[in-house]
Structure 1
C-alpha cells in the first residue's frame, strides 16, 4: 500500500472519529446549557399525540407548543382544552418524520431553543429519537422524548436506518431526500 493511500485512510479514519464525537458532544453541551425543555414539539400523525400534549402543556404552562404537520383535529383539540392559541404554532411544512425535524431547526435556532420535548407515539419513538439525535444533535439542540401509548407494531430497523441515512445526508448537504422516500418503502 502506498504512502498516499495510507495517508488518505488515516485522514478518513480521523474524520469518522471526529464525526462520531461531534454530535454527542453537541448534545451534551446543549443539555448542560439548557437542562430543561424550552418548547413542546408534537410530531404529526395521530390526534392521540395532540391530546397527550394537552396534559404536558398544562403541566408546563410557560412552554410554547409546536405542532409539526398535526392531525386535522389538532387546532380543535387545543382550543377545546383551553390552551391559548398564542401558545400553539401549527406548522404544515413537514412531509414525513425526517422533515418534522429538519423544517423546525432554523426556527428553533432563531428562537434560541436548545432543549425540546418531542411528543410522538411509542411505536414511532425509536425512529424519531434516531432522527432527532442526528438532526437536532448536529445543530446543538437536545431533546427529551415523551411517548404516547399506542397499539401499532414497532417500526422496522430498515425504516429507522433509512431515515438515519437521510438525516446524515441532510446534515452534510441540507437536503433530506424526501422526494426519494417512496422508492425505499
Structure 2
C-alpha cells in the first residue's frame, strides 16, 4: 500500500512541477516582451551558410545590434568570413561553437544571454526549421525570461520538419530545465 501511495504522490509532485513551469514560462515571456519590446540582439542558428548571409544583410538595417551565432566549432571560421564579406566588424560578432544540435544551440547560450541582460532576440533560421526552433526557444529561452521575434530565411530545398522532431526536442528542452542536461549525449551520430 505504501508503494502505491508513494507513486501517486510522486506523480502529483511532478504534475505540479510541470504545471508550475507551464505557467511560469508564458509569464516570463510576457514580462520580457513588456520590458524589452524591441529585440536587443540577433541570434542565428548555424548549419547553413544562407542563414549567415541573410543575418549579415539583416544586420545592415540593425547595425546597433550584436550578432550571436551558435554552430559547430568547425563552422565558425567560415561563418566569420561570410560576415567579413558584408563588412560586419568582429566586435559585433559573438560566435559560439559549443552546439551539437538544435537544442544545444539554445541551451549553450541561454546563460550567456541572461548574463548580458538580453530579454528579446531576433531568431534567424531557415523557414523549414523555424517551428522547431521557436518551440525550443519558447521553453529554453522562455524559462530564462527571454522572448524571440522569429525571422525565417526562405528555403526551397526542404519541407517543414515533422511534428515528431518538434515534440522530441520540446521534451529534451524540458529535460534541460529540470536537469541541466539536454540529452545530446544520446545522439548516436556524435563523436565523443
* Alignment TM-score, normalising by the size of structure 1: 0.90
Equivalence for 2:58: 56
Q: How does 1:103-182 map to 2 (within 5 A)?
A: 103-150=108-155, 151-182=157-188
Equivalence for 2:49: 47
Equivalence for 1:85: 90
Separation of aligned partners in 1, 2:151 and 2:129? 11
Stretches of 4+ moved more than 6 A in 1? none
Q: Which runs of 5+ in 1 are unaligned?
A: none
Separation of aligned partners in 2, 1:67 and 1:18? 31
> How many correspondences in the alignment?
182
CA contact (8 A) 2:28 2:144 kept: yes
Secondary structure of 2:149's aligned partner: strand
| Deviation of the 1:156 alpha carbon | 1.2
Q: Which runs of 5+ in 2 are unaligned?
A: none
Equivalence for 2:21: 19
Question: What is the CA RMSD across the aligned residues, in angstroms?
Answer: 2.1
* Alignment TM-score, normalising by the size of structure 2: 0.87
Q: Does the C-alpha gap of structure 1 residues 20 and 117 become closer, same or farther in structure 2, counting only changes over 3 Å? A: same
Secondary structure of 1:143's aligned partner: strand
